[in-house]
Chain A
Amino acid sequence: MNDRLPILKTYKLAIGGAFPRTESGRSIAIKNPAGEVIAHTCHASRKDLRNAVEAALTVQPKWAGASAYLRGQILYRMAEMVEGKRTELAEAISATGATTTEDARTEVDRCTDRLACFAGWTDKYPQVLGCHNPVTGPYYNFSVPEATGIVGVLAPDSPSLLGLISLIAPVLCSGNAVVVLASETNPIPACVLAEALATSDLPGGVFNLLTGQRDELVEHFASHREINGLSAAGVSQAHRATLEAGAAENLKRVRVLVEPDFTDDSGFESPWSIEPFVETKTIWHPSGA
């Protein structure tokens, strides 16, 4: 008989490299299939979202300006940190009963590999998505992809970790900063991930994590004027409409995946998952002596 009273953890938000509690003072109980409370997470508010965007704004230009090689090494370091928390992440994924422990392990492994994949994309996608353009006349002309800026990411409920990683890896890879709303039904893996990333060399504020309720936060993600893009999966049709209508206010780039199969490597590890959140800049210069 183990009658030790476990210490229940309250997972905090991740904003600007720190782990604050929600300013709203609210929390949500997360339960296992038996209905027992296994942890608490923060119930983030609109103000938390705004703080996260502010943090992202201060660091995003630096992240985008870092060399592709350095961004690649940091994404690889993220993969290393996830690998190091393999067991804890798998337990977190299966804690609410959404998957078996074995499936959860497979999911974590796929997450690690996906991060490693995008670690390798940082210095290659510009060569696939950009090009020299053979214009008529004495001009040198080329197109390069650049980061869109701040991207709001709405992760699906399930797969709680793989869905999140699949949405953020391509977006971070090209120099964007993200503000993520974790799976609503099981946000614990996202929180564990945030703790892992805190020691991954990813500059604080490039990855920001909120936990809470989509119903409450979707409209604020949609309408925030400093968010430049929205990437979502597993959201309802109503939430999709809210996102797209709100996005019209400052013409955010929006990508909503409908019933995605995150285990499809060719779909989720291609440069076409990077492309939605880059802007093509085309540069002309006359040539002549």
Chain B
Amino acid sequence: MTTLDPQSHTETVRRTSAAGPGRSPALEFASAWDYAPAPESVKVEIAKVYGHFINGAFTQPDGGPARTMATINPATEAELAQFARGDAADVDAAVKAAREAQPKWAALPAKERGKYLFRIARRMQERARELAVLETMDNGKPIKESRDVDIPLAAAHFFYHAGWADKLQYAFAGRTPEPVGVCGQIIPWNFPLLMAAWKLAPALACGNTCVLKPAETTPLTALRLAEICAEVGLPEGVVNIVTGDGEAGEALVKHPGIDKIAFTGSTEVGKRIARATAGTGKKLTLELGGKSPNIIFEDASLDQAIEGVVAGIYFNQGHVCCAGSRLLVQESIADEVTKRLTHRLQTLRVGDPLDKNTDVGAINSRPQLDTINNYLGRAREEGLQCHSPSTSALPKNGYWCKPCFFTGVQQSHTLSREEVFGPVLAVQTFRTPEEAISRANNSPYGLAAGVWTDKGSKIFEVAGQLKAGIVWLNTYNRFDPASPFGGYKESGFGREGGMQGLRGYVRLDGGAK
């Protein structure tokens, strides 16, 4: 029995899929359509081994397996390159370079500072395809996402902040903003280049200098960005990049020459950083985890809502801190939503990230795949039913997880409380708007939320009640350099992007430092 809108895309597909007669014809996409491969043709040069970028030049990694580590392509498990494993001495050299560069950088006429950022933005646009392919190889995300989202947004971020450099006094009414100094910035592996842009662009615009540590599984595009910095003539020491693992990150957090730490990553590590910087006078901004609710009311446009749910949780394999990982569905439409989700997931193509048709790419690393599988196992142990209707055949090598969702989830289930950071959706139901709001807010996190209804007054009432830094109404996972991003509660503090994002990179005179 189908209640699908006869005009909808899924219904059309059903009719052409040669399903037999019957009350509940099965949708069979795998045999209906066969996709020819559409591989990305641009080839990218990757060096055998990369050093740090300190004081305007790449260091020579001093050999020895202890001082380098490998980054692999998670879709093939093939090694892409070796890169330097930073330690306290490397961090110290980078901080020294940044310290020395900072007063000169801050003293540059603001317009000139801005022009360097404009140059970086332009070069990123010009090298966009190369960066996209490299990002996809290092991270595992689909090329259509790195090409259409990550790289254009990263360039736009530099362009947006370039314009702020000479306008800061207008952003802080009645105040004279001063740079914080040297910023230590630690970024995750889910949007490697975009996160580098989110961190560097506002810091540089405000007259700070930076030591950036990319994630250990995805250092390559940040190192390309270092090349671009050198290429556009950015003064030495303004941007320094130290690669490595937690050792380098810890050295950066503890370095006395750092004035501010900006961290994006897990809430657990964020809290450790907050403890480590307590009483040191270092400024801190944290963009941490989430378990963001996506609420569908019965009066929502369901076609759009389903697309929004899919974009909310399966975008970037669910490796998104603001992923809509808790779906709250009004009880009256729960069955319909489950059915439509099942249909939609069948059409998601999982596989080669470099294929332009791929919707869901590779999980970024073996440890992350283990984490996800752990959560899947626990969900089943707790009695939850898994729906994993994707029909894609998975490649033999690489790390893969088919997009899936669990129904019947209650607040007590692990899946409704803990961040999975994978393509795993927990579906819960509710009856009244009040119940939806209270369930949505029942979390230590408060990063993002989604609301789907065509009723205007209701959508604004619910948006006002949600404790979340970003609220997407009748949409999900939209990003823009002009739009502040960041969370409430244990999702961290401070904003990135927009006018509010500048606040973490300036000191204000008067009572408010």
Q: Which A residues are within 8 Å of any B CB, using their own CB? A: 128-129, 131, 133-137, 139, 141, 143, 166, 228, 237-238, 240-245, 247-251, 253, 257-258, 260-262, 264, 266-268, 270-273, 275-276, 279-286
Contact = CB atoms under 8 A, between A and B. Distances in A.
Interface string B432-455: 000000000000100000000000
Interface string B233-253: 000000000000000000000
A238 B463 CA distance: 41
Given A135-B482, A240-B279, A264 B498 contact: no
Interface in B464-489: 468-475, 478, 480, 482-486, 488-489
Contacts of B472: 284
B511 A268 contact: yes
Query: Interface centre among B267, B278, B474, B490, by most A CB within 10 Å?
Result: B278
Contacts of A267: 509-512
Contacts, number: 139
Contact of A276 (B156, B475, B485, B512): B512
Interface residues of B, number: 50
A-B residue pairs, 10 tightest by C-beta: A241-B279, A267-B510, A267-B511, A248-B274, A244-B278, A272-B512, A135-B480, A245-B278, A285-B473, A268-B511
Interface string B410-434: 0000000000000000000000000
Contacts of B275: 245, 248
22 contacts: A135-B480, A141-B482, A240-B279, A241-B279, A244-B278, A247-B278, A248-B274, A250-B489, A257-B513, A264-B510, A266-B510, A268-B510, A268-B511, A270-B512, A273-B512, A280-B486, A281-B463, A283-B470, A284-B475, A285-B459, A285-B473, A285-B474
A272 B480 contact: no
Contacts of B469: 279-282
B470 A284 contact: yes
Given A241-B279, A247-B274, A248-B278, A135 B483 contact: yes
A281 B493 contact: no
A271 B156 CA distance: 29
Contacts of B483: 133, 135, 141, 143, 282, 284
Interface of B: 156, 172-175, 267, 270-272, 274-275, 277-279, 286, 288, 444, 459, 463, 468-475, 478, 480, 482-486, 488-490, 492-493, 495, 498-500, 503, 508-513
A137 B480 CA distance: 9
B480 A245 contact: no
A282 B470 contact: yes
A237 B173 contact: no
